[in-house]
Amino acid sequence: MTILEAVLLTVITASTPLLLAAIGELVAERSGVLNLGVEGMMIMGAVCAFTAAVITGNGLVGVVAGATAGLVMAFVFAVLAVSLATNQVATGLALTLFGIGVSGMIGENYVGVARNPLPQLHVPVLSDLPLVGQVVFGQDGLVYLSFALVVGVTWFLNRTRAGLTLRAVGDNHHSAHSLGLPVVRVRYLAVLFGGLCAGMAGAYLSLSYTPMWMKEMTAGRGWIALALVVFASWMPGRALIGAYLFGAITILQFHAQGAGLGIPSQFMTALPYVATIVVLVIISRERTRARANTPLCLGTPFVPER
């Protein structure tokens, strides 16, 4: 039971940043905006969160700083891709390269510096229960926030007028504009929400998952989050399942190496990314699944007809 508890705890910590980033990107894509800069927003969130937490000694300040960094990066992307109607793919890739470069410069003096992880919830009696205690009642606030976001985004998209507006903009921005819907404003808010979530995902990496700063510590998780959105068919509940599936695959490499199975470490390290490619290939072959819930204007810049 102790081994099972340890496995579950590590799977949760590995899955949380994927879930946070995927939920934010899912909302952005449902508005019709494809932001490939998730990796850049995550890495900037990670470095800003860690430096702020070290300077102030307060983890909450670090989380706020990480979320703010993600917001700023998302705002830059929105100005270029939404207001100026630049190519969204090229803009997102540029944002990622920019984030990786700037984060290395900001965190240069903090490489290898360690700090205590974010405080975890402790409920008397409940947190001391075997297996369930630490897994359910012993996580930090960002883990519970990730679950709350899944529920909140599901309710928002399916039960609110604003969610219907968001989906209408993503499916046909010209028709939405002709009906008087604020297409640009909706896309700005969706992109900013995605940046906020990506920044918090980066903050979780540097403040909880591995409470220290390392260059390029996101290690491609932003790209996996992008793949998760497609895997989930743009549905928050499926994103939750996908994030924990990929998190479990990530953790598998460490337990397989610890068990001495003789599998090359390079293969185990590449396993999460191999799984991502396999999933995308399978989905692309199933045209009905690939088209389900796909925003019809995804990646198409909106230019109002004059």
Instruction: List the CATH code of the domain at 2-291.
Output: 1.10.3470
At 133 the pLDDT is 82
Instruction: Extract the tokens encoding 275.
Output: 């799984």
At 169 the pLDDT is 96
pLDDT tens, position by position, 20-55: 999 999 999 999 999 999 999 999 999 999 999 999
pTM confidence score: 0.92
- Of 304, 305, 306, 295, whose CA–CA distance to 35 is shortest? 295
What is the phi-psi region of residue 171: left when phi exceeds 0, alpha when psi lies from -120 to 50, beta otherwise?
alpha
pLDDT tens, position by position, 101-133: 999 999 999 988 888 899 888 888 778 787 788
pLDDT tens, position by position, 225-237: 999 998 888 999 9
- What mean pLDDT is predicted for residues 54-69? 95
**DSSP assignment of 78-145:** HIIIIIS---HHHHHHHHHHHHHHHHHHHTGGGBT-B-PPPPBP--TTGGGSTTHHHHHHS-BHHHHH
How far is residue 94's CA from residue 132's CA, in Å, rounded to a whole number?
43
How far is residue 84's CA from residue 236's CA, in Å, rounded to a whole number?
29
Residues in the chain: 306
What is the phi-psi region of residue 120: left when phi exceeds 0, alpha when psi lies from -120 to 50, beta otherwise?
beta
How far is residue 214's CA from residue 189's CA, in Å, rounded to a whole number?
31
At 252 the pLDDT is 77
DSSP bridge pairs for 111: 213
pLDDT tens, position by position, 150-195: 999 999 999 999 999 999 999 999 999 999 999 999 999 999 999 9
